[in-house]
Amino acid sequence: MKYTWAGATHVGRVRTNNEDVFAPTTDGLSSGPAVFAVADGMGGHVAGEVASKLAIEAAMETDGNALDRVLAGNSRVVEAIIADPSLGGMGTTLTLIALSTDGALDLAHIGDSRAYRLRGGVMEQLTSDHTLVAELVAEGRLDPKEVRAHPQRNLITRVIGMGKKIEPDQMSDRALDGDRLLLCSDGLSSMLEDSKIAGLLGASTPEEAVWSMIEAANNAGGEDNITVIVVDTRA
């Protein structure tokens, strides 16, 4: 399988610093294996950026499956907090996809960054948000249409840095010829409806798709940092 990808991040129109980190930071082409990750830090002006950077570094340096990589990211962040108590309270989301040479797809995820797949013109969200409002929707206690206006829509229930033991989601699947994958921080998904994201994701090249989504999120308000990775899979 051949993978072609592009990625970028933007501070948005409201924030003054960017706490998102992604990898790889350069566009590329590979027959695999390939690993892609997005982290959205939180916990203070500097600490959020520290958490996301540490988590991404550890995840990309670790050998193993997607879950091993996310757990390594958590260990790195927790160790940093123990070594420097002033960093207490920092944390980060982490959504990571590992693709093998034969198309096997391994995903691990914690927080509210997202992974999507566009297949045959239909976009599917591969991750579930670890947020209070997502739990309320799943329990039937909140209408999905009310999520964007909910006062606690940004409350995350699972995140890297909460402790030594975390519970990431994990899934295994297979990439098919013609699939397009998207990893993004909530600076994209909180600004644009899925239908809008799906339309922009179909742009002719990964790079064009990345920048069209960042531009659209900024035009919609750019209330958060925006990070996007798009990966094409070809047999």
Report pLDDT digits (tens) over 78-98: 999 999 999 999 999 999 999
pLDDT, mean of residues 69-81: 97
* DSSP letter, residue 114: E
- Summarize pLDDT for 19-37 with one digit per residue, the tens: 999 999 999 999 999 999 9
Side chain identity at 21, as an amino acid letter? Answer: V
Q: How far is the C-alpha of 172 from the C-alpha of 174, rounded, in Å?
A: 7
- Summarize pLDDT for 195-230 with one digit per residue, the tens: 999 999 998 899 999 999 999 999 999 999 999 999
Q: What is the pLDDT of residue 155?
A: 77
**CB-CB contact of 217 with 188 (8 Å):** yes
Q: Is the pLDDT of residue 129 over 90?
A: yes
**CB-CB contact of 160 with 111 (8 Å):** yes
Q: What is the pLDDT of residue 142?
A: 73
Q: How far is the C-alpha of 112 from the C-alpha of 9, rounded, in Å?
A: 16
Q: What is the pLDDT of residue 224?
A: 95
Which residues fall within 8 angstroms of residue 34, CB to CB, at 6 or more apart? 3, 5, 28, 98, 99, 231
- The answer to which of 46-50, 85-89, 130-134 has the lowest mean pLDDT is 130-134
Q: Tell me the helix, strand and coil percentages in the chain, rounded to 5.
A: 30, 30, 35
Q: How confident is the model at residue 45 (pLDDT cuts 50, 70, 90)?
A: low
pLDDT, mean of residues 52-73: 98
Q: How confident is the model at residue 43 (pLDDT cuts 50, 70, 90)?
A: confident
Q: What is the pLDDT of residue 44?
A: 64
**CB-CB contact of 51 with 84 (8 Å):** no
Token digits for 181?
């994958």
Pairing of strands 114-119, 122-125: antiparallel
**CB-CB contact of 160 with 73 (8 Å):** yes
Q: Is the pLDDT of residue 57 over 80?
A: yes
